[in-house]
Structure 1
Amino acid sequence: MTDSDQIHVPTPAILDVSGLSCASCVGRVQRALDASDLVHSARVNLATHSAVVDLAEGADGKDVADLVTAAGYAATLREEGDNAPAQQNESAAYRRNFLIAAILTLPVFVLEMGAHAFPQFHHYLGATLGHDNSRYIQFVLTALVLIWPGRGFYLKGVPALLAGRPEMNSLVSLGTFAAFSYSVVATFAASLLPAGADNVYFEAAAVIIVLILLGRWLEARAKGQAGAAIARLLELQPATARIETEGQIKDIPTAAILPGDIIHIRPGERFAVDGVVLRGRGFADESMLTGEALPVAKEEGAPVTSGTLNGASALVMQAERVGRDTVLAGIIRLVDEAQATKLPIENLVDRITRIFVPVVLVLAVIAGLAWLFFGPEPSLSHALVAMVSVLIIACPCAMGLAVPVSIMVASGRGAELGVLLRKGDALQRMENIHTVCFDKTGTLTIGRPELSGLAIAAGFEHDKVLRLMAGAEATSEHPLAGAVLRAAEERGIEPGLNLDMEALPGSGLRALVDGRRVLIGNEALMQAEGIDFTPLQPSVKGFVAEAQSVIFVAVDGLAAAVSAIADQIRPESYNVITTLKARGIRIAMVTGDAKPAADAVAKLLRVDQVYAQTLPGEKADVVQSLQADGPVAFVGDGINDAPALASADIGIAMGGGNNVATEAGDIILASGSPAGVVTAYELSRKTMRNIRQNLVWAFGYNVLLIPVAMGALYPFTGMLLSPALGAGAMALSSVLVVSNALRLRRVGSPAPATQTASPAPQVTTPKAPEKPASCCGGKTAS
Structure 2
Amino acid sequence: MKKEIPVEGMSCASCAISIEKTLKSSPGVKEASVNYANHAATIEWEEQSVSLEELQKKIQSTGYNLVINDVEAQEQEEINREAYLKIKRKTLYAGILAFPVFVIGMFWMHMPYGNYVMWALTTPILLVFGNQFFKNAWIQTKNFSANMDSLVAISTGIAYLYSSFNTFFPSFLEAKGLESHVYFEAAAVILFFILLGKTMEAGAKAGTGEALKKLMGLQPSDLVVLENGSEIIKKTADVKLGEKILIKPGQKIPLDGKIIEGESYVDENMLTGEPIPVLKTVNSKVFAGTINQAGSLVFEVEKISDDTLLSQIIARVKSAQGSKAPVQKLVDKVAAVFVPVVLLIGLLTFVTWGFSGVEESWLRGMLAMITVFVIACPCALGLATPTAIITAMGKGAELGILIKEAESLEKGVKIDSIVLDKTGTITEGKPKVAEFVSTGNCDELDRKAIYNLEKKSEHPLANAIAEYFQEGDISIENFKSITGKGVQGFLEGQTYRIGNLNWLKDEGILENPELETKANHALEEGYIVVFAAKNEQPLGFFKIADLIKETSKEAISNLKKMGIEVHMLTGDQHKTAALIAKQVGIPNFKAEMLPQGKSEYIKNLQLQGRKVAMVGDGINDSEALSVADLSIAMGQGTDIAMDIAEITLVHSNLNDIPKALNLTKKSIKIIHQNLFWAFIYNIIGIPIAAGVLYPLFGFLLNPMIAGGAMALSSVSVVLNSLRLKK
The two structures have a TM-score, normalised by structure 2, of 0.62
1:724 positional shift: 1.1
Choose the corresponding residue for 2:531, options 552, 565, 589: 552
Choose the corresponding residue for 2:92, options 60, 78, 88: 88
CA contact 1:16–1:85 (8 Å) conserved in 2:
no
Distance 1:222 1:539, change over 3 A: same
Hey, what's the Cα distance between the residues in 1 that align with 2:404 and 2:490? 54
Hey, what's the Cα distance between the residues in 2 that align with 1:678 and 1:684? 10
Hey, what's the Cα distance between the residues in 2 that align with 1:643 and 1:42? 18
Give the residue type in structure 1 aligned to 2:91: Q
SS of the residue aligned with 1:479?
A: coil
CA contact 1:522–1:550 (8 Å) conserved in 2:
yes
**Is 2:448 the counterpart of 1:467?**
yes
Distance 1:70 1:676, change over 3 A: same
Which residue pairs with 1:322 in the alignment? none
1:607 positional shift: 1.1
SS of the residue aligned with 1:87?
A: helix
Distance 1:436 1:14, change over 3 A: same
Hey, what's the Cα distance between the residues in 1 that align with 2:503 and 2:126? 90
Distance 1:86 1:541, change over 3 A: same
Give the residue type in structure 1 aligned to 2:95: S
Distance 1:653 1:690, change over 3 A: same
Which residue pairs with 2:477 in the alignment? 499
Hey, what's the Cα distance between the residues in 2 that align with 1:416 and 1:13? 36
Which residue pairs with 2:232 in the alignment? none
Which residue pairs with 2:177 in the alignment? 200
CA contact 1:468–1:518 (8 Å) conserved in 2:
yes
Residue by residue over 1:689-737, the C-alpha shift from the partner in whole angstroms, topping out at 9 and shown as x without a partner, is 3322222222222122222323445577552322211112223434544
Q: Which runs of 5+ in 2 are unaligned?
A: 27-31, 44-51, 66-78, 208-320
Hey, what's the Cα distance between the residues in 1 that align with 2:340 and 2:151? 9
Give the residue type in structure 1 aligned to 2:478: D
Residue by residue over 1:515-547, the C-alpha shift from the partner in whole angstroms, topping out at 9 and shown as x without a partner, is 323243444456664635355467546634532
Which residue pairs with 2:554 in the alignment? 575
Which residue pairs with 2:327 in the alignment? 344
Hey, what's the Cα distance between the residues in 2 that align with 1:169 and 1:152? 14
Choose the corresponding residue for 2:458, options 465, 477, 485: 477
Which residue pairs with 1:390 in the alignment? 372
Greater Rg by CA? 1
Which residue pairs with 1:320 in the alignment? none
Which residue pairs with 1:431 in the alignment? 413
**Is 2:628 the counterpart of 1:645?**
no
Hey, what's the Cα distance between the residues in 2 that align with 1:663 and 1:486? 32
Hey, what's the Cα distance between the residues in 2 that align with 1:12 and 1:673? 37
Give the residue type in structure 1 aligned to 2:327: P
CA contact 1:435–1:586 (8 Å) conserved in 2:
yes
Distance 1:142 1:682, change over 3 A: closer
Hey, what's the Cα distance between the residues in 1 that align with 2:93 and 2:709? 25
**Is 2:343 the counterpart of 1:361?**
yes
Distance 1:509 1:227, change over 3 A: closer
CA contact 2:497–2:532 (8 Å) conserved in 1:
yes
SS of the residue aligned with 1:593?
A: coil
Give the residue type in structure 1 aligned to 2:587: D
CA contact 1:454–1:564 (8 Å) conserved in 2:
yes
1:558 positional shift: 3.1
Choose the corresponding residue for 1:446, options 423, 428, 431: 428
Task: Please list, as runs of the form range in 1=range in 2, the aligned pairs for 1:273-672 lying within 5 A after superposition.
Answer: 344=327, 346=329, 348-370=330-352, 383=365, 386-404=368-386, 406-407=388-389, 410=392, 425-461=407-443, 463-489=444-470, 493-503=471-481, 507-524=485-502, 529=508, 531-534=510-513, 536=515, 539-540=518-519, 543-544=522-523, 546-627=525-606, 628-654=608-634, 656=636, 659=639, 663-668=643-648
Which residue pairs with 1:707 in the alignment? 687
Distance 1:15 1:517, change over 3 A: same
CA contact 1:694–1:737 (8 Å) conserved in 2:
yes
CA contact 2:617–2:637 (8 Å) conserved in 1:
no
Hey, what's the Cα distance between the residues in 2 that align with 1:642 and 1:545? 31
1:34 positional shift: 8.8
Higher alpha-carbon deviation: 597-606 or 141-150 = 141-150
CA contact 2:419–2:567 (8 Å) conserved in 1:
yes
Distance 1:147 1:654, change over 3 A: closer
The two structures have a TM-score, normalised by structure 1, of 0.58
Distance 1:662 1:15, change over 3 A: farther
CA contact 2:632–2:648 (8 Å) conserved in 1:
yes
Distance 1:508 1:28, change over 3 A: closer
Distance 1:54 1:416, change over 3 A: farther
Distance 1:228 1:644, change over 3 A: closer
Hey, what's the Cα distance between the residues in 2 that align with 1:437 and 1:506? 34
SS of the residue aligned with 1:446?
A: coil
CA contact 2:622–2:640 (8 Å) conserved in 1:
no
Give the residue type in structure 1 aligned to 2:530: I
Higher alpha-carbon deviation: 367-376 or 476-485 = 367-376
CA contact 2:10–2:39 (8 Å) conserved in 1:
no
| CA RMSD in angstroms, aligned pairs only | 5.4
Hey, what's the Cα distance between the residues in 2 that align with 1:98 and 1:653? 40
Higher alpha-carbon deviation: 695-704 or 496-505 = 496-505
CA contact 2:91–2:196 (8 Å) conserved in 1:
no
Give the residue type in structure 2 aligned to 1:494: G
Distance 1:419 1:34, change over 3 A: farther
Distance 1:93 1:78, change over 3 A: farther
Indicate the percent of aligned positions where both proteins have the same amino acid.
28
SS of the residue aligned with 1:447?
A: coil
Residue by residue over 1:347-377, the C-alpha shift from the partner in whole angstroms, topping out at 9 and shown as x without a partner, is x322321232221122123344555666987
CA contact 1:102–1:210 (8 Å) conserved in 2:
no
1:425 positional shift: 3.0
1:601 positional shift: 0.5
Give the residue type in structure 2 aligned to 1:89: Y
Distance 1:35 1:675, change over 3 A: farther
